[in-house]
Amino acid sequence: MTRSSPFVSIAAAALLLSAGARPAHAQHLPDLVTPDVLRVCSDPGNMPFSERKGGGFENKIAQIVADELKVKLRYYWLTQGPGFVRNTLGTGLCDLIIGTSGGEIVQPTNPYYRSAYVLIARRGELPDIKSLDDPRLKERQIGIIAGTPPSNRLSELKLVGERIHAYAPYAFGAERKHQTVAAEVIADLAEKKIDVAVLWGPAAGWLAKQSGVPMDVVPLLNEPGRPPLTFRVSMGVRQGENDWKRSLNTVLRKRKADIEKVLREYDVPLLAEEENKPLGAAEE
């Protein structure tokens, strides 16, 4: 995953599972390497998702899961990027990724929220904008993280060239001023280096509020279905850990309201499960 994309990237090399290392007495939380501790794989500097101090919404959700399971919470920290899954779940150092879409390497739980990419502009500068084909964008400087799904859509609309500021993921190093690439994009928007940005909503909502500059955050709900700009987010476990997955699904069902409350506190744009419309207050 880029550190602001909707899910942990699972297109890495084959995962080396360590299922044989599990103790025989691990019964009350099946499949886990350590049955009396919830060991979460997480990034120590990826706000608003997670941080070492526990201030991210995935940290809060991990605590809800631990509380429901009545076990202690422990983290294994690793910066997300190439090798994250292989060196966390794959080595048996932790048992759960809080945000993922699953795939060949990671087995997903049932989704616990659905969200969308969003367009962010300084408050009032693009009133009533609803989609990327709005003609006003043809004259705007657009910030986007390279390789994310909206890149293809912007290419289709010929919103490319000098107007596009494509921020490369994994832009780490001593010269970095911001914790994540998404934070850098929002900072440039606040400083008027760009006019609009297109980012994954769960990152953008919180970052926009933290910027100190009033911003409009508009979910992109009217784009064509390919590539999709809305995603369901699940938790991730190792392949074959079906009992553990079922235990987590039970937790997600029982604590749905608590988890949704956390997501709303962090300005995550929440969508209805089957339709491209915001999850309204009446459905809370």
137-149 residue pLDDT tens: 998 999 999 889 9
Mean of pLDDT values over 55-63: 98
Count of H-run helices and E-run strands, the chain: 6, 12
Residue 180 makes CB contacts below 8 A (sequence gap 6+) with 3, 4, 45, 46, 47, 203
pLDDT at 9 over 70: no
Cα→Cα distances 279→254, 268, 274, Å: 19, 11, 10
Mean of pLDDT values over 86-108: 87
Mean of pLDDT values over 190-218: 96
pLDDT at 81: 82
pLDDT at 191 over 90: yes
Percent of the chain whose predicted confidence (pLDDT) is above 70: 81
Mean of pLDDT values over 155-171: 78
pLDDT at 195: 96
| CA 59 to the chain's CA centroid | 12
CA proximity to 251, closest of 51, 109, 55: 109
**E strands present in 123-160:** 142-145
Q: Are 148 and 276 in contact (CB under 8 A)?
A: no
CA proximity to 206, closest of 131, 283, 118, 77: 118
Beta bridge partners of 165: 143
Lowest-confidence segment of 4-18, 153-167, 245-259 by average pLDDT:
4-18
Q: How confident is the model at residue 279 (pLDDT cuts 50, 70, 90)?
A: low
pLDDT at 269: 96
Mean of pLDDT values over 253-276: 92
The burial class, CB within 10 Å (0-12 / 13-18 / 19+), for 2 is buried
The burial class, CB within 10 Å (0-12 / 13-18 / 19+), for 129 is middle
Higher pLDDT, 12 or 85: 85
Q: Are 5 and 80 in contact (CB under 8 A)?
A: no
pLDDT digits (tens, 9 = 90+) for 219-241: 999 888 777 899 999 999 999 99
With b meaning 16 or more CB within 10 Å and e meaning fewer, what string describes 206-241?
bbbbebeeebbbbbbbebeeeeebbbbbbbbbbbeb
Q: Which amino acid, one-letter code, is at 222?
A: N
SS3 84: coil
Q: Which residue has the tokens 């995935």?
A: 58
Q: How confident is the model at residue 136 (pLDDT cuts 50, 70, 90)?
A: very high
pLDDT at 282: 39
pLDDT at 165: 86
pTM equals: 0.84
pLDDT at 95: 95
Q: How confident is the model at residue 167 (pLDDT cuts 50, 70, 90)?
A: confident
pLDDT at 34: 75
Type and span of the H or E element at 190: helix 181-190
Q: Are 188 and 111 in contact (CB under 8 A)?
A: no
Average pLDDT, the chain: 84
Higher pLDDT, 9 or 18: 9
Q: How confident is the model at residue 127 (pLDDT cuts 50, 70, 90)?
A: very high
pLDDT at 166: 82
Lowest-confidence segment of 53-67, 175-189, 237-251 by average pLDDT:
175-189
Mean of pLDDT values over 183-211: 96
Q: Which amino acid, one-letter code, is at 101?
A: S
Neighbours of 142 (CB within 10 A): 21
